[in-house]
Structure 1
């Protein structure tokens, strides 16, 4: 499983679908927002948590279709399905590789980019915590969507339509944790909900994604 994880991380970087593309998109979103809403620091500070979370979410979408696509194209997905490692483990390893090459860099970059949006100083730590707790769910949900659409023509658009509604709860509670942290409000409830969503997706979706892959490989 470790070898599969390292292999997928190397492929993600070589294929151009790793952290570089996601970070570039994230930077563009954050830089363009002040031009769209104006330079008022109070306005930017108020919308910063939501904008940073939305930018990270959309950046994650860019590389979702590559989670299984490369293995499908070269036939290695069939070999992985017959390997001693259960298909659920394959899904978990690929979701982990996606998070390490996309979600983790976005999490680490978000506080730096928060400077462009005048994010209050109190919100940096909570933004980092919220993204660290929520982005694994984005990668796992994306792996589930990629398993459903693997092998389909123009599956990238369908994948986005499938996973975006599933991303909404994570976006709501993740942005709420960041907003309340920046404003100094109580955040135990949204933080618990965010952690529960992530734990639920990590526990259940590997089995659902593996079942979808078995259907597509028949």
Structure 2
């Protein structure tokens, strides 16, 4: 994880690109739709979640590509350390670079959609639970498309359908709170998704990487 964070510090433009993409996509909707508060409050959670999903997807192709190109991935597979732990470290580094900044920026973008303080708190909590799920699921897709020609488009086709439950529960939690209802069912489902992906996806990613390296 530390290695990937250091390498990302040398290629900070790649991280900044995802953040700028997230900000631009989320900011275009208020500009295009107009300043009507009720409409902005209704579409805001879904827009921010879709922007976060696409920004996370933007950083997935480089998750294993550089290590595969320079042979570092083969050395990891031959390392005495379990490959599944190394994969988990890489996914955690990806979330810290691509997911955590989105969580921190979300309240500022939520203000553009006239979201109140309670809705902003639920939005941040839903993103904090949901963005690791996006990284964990995306890692499997990145491993499956490693070295494949046109892998970026194939990666999107593989993971976008799997992102739908996270998107629905994440935006639904904020919408429920804004409507005066309890958001805990959607947040509980996001937590369950996070636990399930933490338990399963590193192993699935490791298996996909071993197939790609054969």
Could you say whether these structures have the same fold, taking a TM-score greater than 0.5 normalized by the shorter chain as the test? yes
Using the TM superposition, give the Cα deviation of residue 192 of structure 1 relative to its aligned residue in structure 2, in angstroms. 1.1
CA–CA distance in structure 2, aligned partners of residues 120 and 45 of structure 1 = 9
Using the TM superposition, give the Cα deviation of residue 95 of structure 1 relative to its aligned residue in structure 2, in angstroms. 0.7
CA–CA distance in structure 2, aligned partners of residues 199 and 143 of structure 1 = 16
**Unpaired segments of 5 or more residues in structure 1?**
none
Aligned to 2:146: 150
CA–CA distance in structure 2, aligned partners of residues 25 and 119 of structure 1 = 21
Aligned to 2:206: 210
Aligned to 2:131: 135
Residue-by-residue CA offset, 1:3-47 (whole Å, 9 max, x unaligned): xx01112223433322x1121011111221023322211100111
Aligned to 1:167: 163
Are the counterparts in 2 of residues 122 and 183 from structure 1 also a CA contact under 8 Å?
no
Aligned to 1:81: 77
Using the TM superposition, give the Cα deviation of residue 152 of structure 1 relative to its aligned residue in structure 2, in angstroms. 1.2
| CA RMSD, 1 decimal | 1.1
**Among 109, 113, 138, the residue aligned to 2:109:** 113
Residue-by-residue CA offset, 1:75-116 (whole Å, 9 max, x unaligned): 100000011121111211111000000100000100111111
CA–CA distance in structure 1, aligned partners of residues 63 and 9 of structure 2 = 12
Using the TM superposition, give the Cα deviation of residue 193 of structure 1 relative to its aligned residue in structure 2, in angstroms. 0.8
Superposed structure 1 runs of 4+ greater than 6 Å apart: none
Residue-by-residue CA offset, 1:123-153 (whole Å, 9 max, x unaligned): 0111111000111000111111111011112
**Unpaired segments of 5 or more residues in structure 2?**
none
CA–CA distance in structure 1, aligned partners of residues 164 and 8 of structure 2 = 26
